[in-house]
Amino acid sequence: MKHSSSPQYRGLSRRNFLGQASCAAVGSSALFNTILNLSMTSRASAAIPSNEYKAMVCLFLAGGNDSFNMLSPLDNSEYNLYKNVRADLALDGSSPEKTPLPINAPTSGRTFGIHPGMTGIRDLYTSGELAFVSNVGTLVRPTTLSDYNSGSMLPKGLFSHSDQIQQWQTSVPNQRIGKGWGGRTADLLASLNDSTELSMNVSLGGLNVFQTGNMVVPYAISNGGAVTLDGYNGTSPVDVARTAAVNNQLDFDYANLFEKTFTNKTKHSKDAAGLFNSAVNNSSLGTSFPNSSLGKDLEMVAKTIAAHSTLGFRRQTFFVLAGGWDHHDETLENQAAMLPMVSQAVKAFRDALVNDLNMWDQVTLFQASDFGRTLTSNGKGSDHAWGGNYFVTGGGVEGGEVYGTYPTMDLAGSGIDTGRGRFIPQVSVDEFNAELGLWFGVDQSNLATVLPNIREFYPSNATAGPIGFLA
């Protein structure tokens, strides 16, 4: 196994002027960006084997997962501290439903516990296919408690849902932007794909920042496939009439630029949906997925991966959104219902990639969330915090290990507690994302283009990954 600690390196009229000058500026900027992207894309393509396929799957638990129950300490002294500080939020071992599943972390020599409802995740960990990364969060730079207390260089909107979601997805912690690191990665690598009809970024969570780039945007689908026009190509008399009417509208030669553009976009969307659904519907999986929304979403991801050759893809990203994790009350009850669904769906996804597709080595699924939550209780549940624990799984993952530094439950002695067990992260989101990006095919020389803040934590001359969880 690789190291478990994050490194420390861390005379014109006003109208004419606006029209001419701004268009010239936009045109020049667009041309420069196009040349720059073509140059970087050419370098990236040359370094990647022509027959290689890889997929990266982001499973986002929206709301802020209470991850210190997903992965808890089980060493005797730390477990006692955990139970004391968490009080009514603790998995205290008083019943099977409150007894964590023990795992060993070889590098640290420590014992941890996985939530008792996550047996599938435990099995993937013990088989070496899944790893945890501890105390990860958004950081502008390596941060101390003194930095926090002085308000020095902190992420924008710390503890805010919207800001922290955006920063996980953009890897830009000090400003609000609408382009994500998955989108920037796609801008760089999209030319590897043969498809011109569909985006390499497929979303089962609607439009999202993570997959939005300058040139590439998400292709939003449902777990039933690409969304099509209601009733189009149906067999009922009403649907036949509706289909004829739509075709007449799409075949009309419009003079108005906006009407023409809208029609062309509609045609393209219709044709792309037909292409996607035809390919995916021919994908057959023998694995039974759980009958949950997340189970169906990951089943559709697996089917889409199975159809990658037909669709013409060598690189794809997927975004899967699972909401409802803002547990300010009834934390234990909510986790008991929701964490098993995550575990079952992820395990089924792995089984399909291994047994049905033989593609597990080419896929990495990583879990993300807004932030961690407070260790201490508000009397009913836990509140917004900062650093948290996350899992990553796939055939290339150096699993069976807890990376990063799991914080002590002795809050006064931790040196990183900002209050109520809101831990300052010791692993940055940038490092976490860099590990994934490098595996996916982003060259070290282009890494700072994808992750603008990465050089605060990871030097450009590094020869090993920033964390070590991917081979």
The 10s digit of each residue's pLDDT in 166-198 is: 999 999 999 999 999 999 999 999 999 998 889
| Per-residue pLDDT at 244 | 73
The pLDDT-based confidence of 23 (bands split at 50, 70, 90) is very low
| Per-residue pLDDT at 220 | 95
| Per-residue pLDDT at 10 | 38
Spatial CA neighbour of 277 closest among 299, 298, 303: 303
| Per-residue pLDDT at 67 | 98
- Segment 429-444 mean pLDDT: 97
- Segment 47-68 mean pLDDT: 93
pTM listed for this prediction: 0.88
Mean pLDDT of the chain: 89
The pLDDT-based confidence of 274 (bands split at 50, 70, 90) is confident
What CA–CA distance (Å, rounded) separates 6 from 403? 8
| Per-residue pLDDT at 41 | 53
| Cβ atoms 370, 169 nearer than 8 A | no
| Per-residue pLDDT at 48 | 81
CB within 8 A of 382, min separation 6: which ones? 66, 89, 327, 328, 331, 373, 374, 375, 376
The pLDDT-based confidence of 19 (bands split at 50, 70, 90) is very low
- Segment 216-224 mean pLDDT: 95
pLDDT score of 53 more than 90: yes
Least confident of 48-52, 194-198, 219-223, 326-330: 48-52
The pLDDT-based confidence of 8 (bands split at 50, 70, 90) is very low
- Segment 238-245 mean pLDDT: 69
Amino acid found at 248: N
| Per-residue pLDDT at 68 | 98
Backbone angles phi and psi of 268, in degrees to 5: -60, -45
Residue 230: other Cβ atoms inside 10 A: 8
Three-state secondary structure readout of 228-295? CCCCCCCCCHHHHHHHHHHHHHHHCCCCCHHHHHHHHHHHHHHHHHHHHHHHHHCCCCCCCCCCCHHH
What CA–CA distance (Å, rounded) separates 224 from 277? 9
> What percentage of residues in the chain have a pLDDT greater than 90?
78
What secondary structure does DSSP assign to 371-427, as a single string?
Answer: --B-SS--SSS--B-S-EEEEEEETTB--S-EEE-PPPS-HHHHS-B-STT-BPPSE
φ/ψ region of 404 (left if φ > 0, alpha if ψ in -120 to 50, else beta) reads: left
| More confident of the two residues 91 and 267 | 91
- Segment 336-352 mean pLDDT: 98
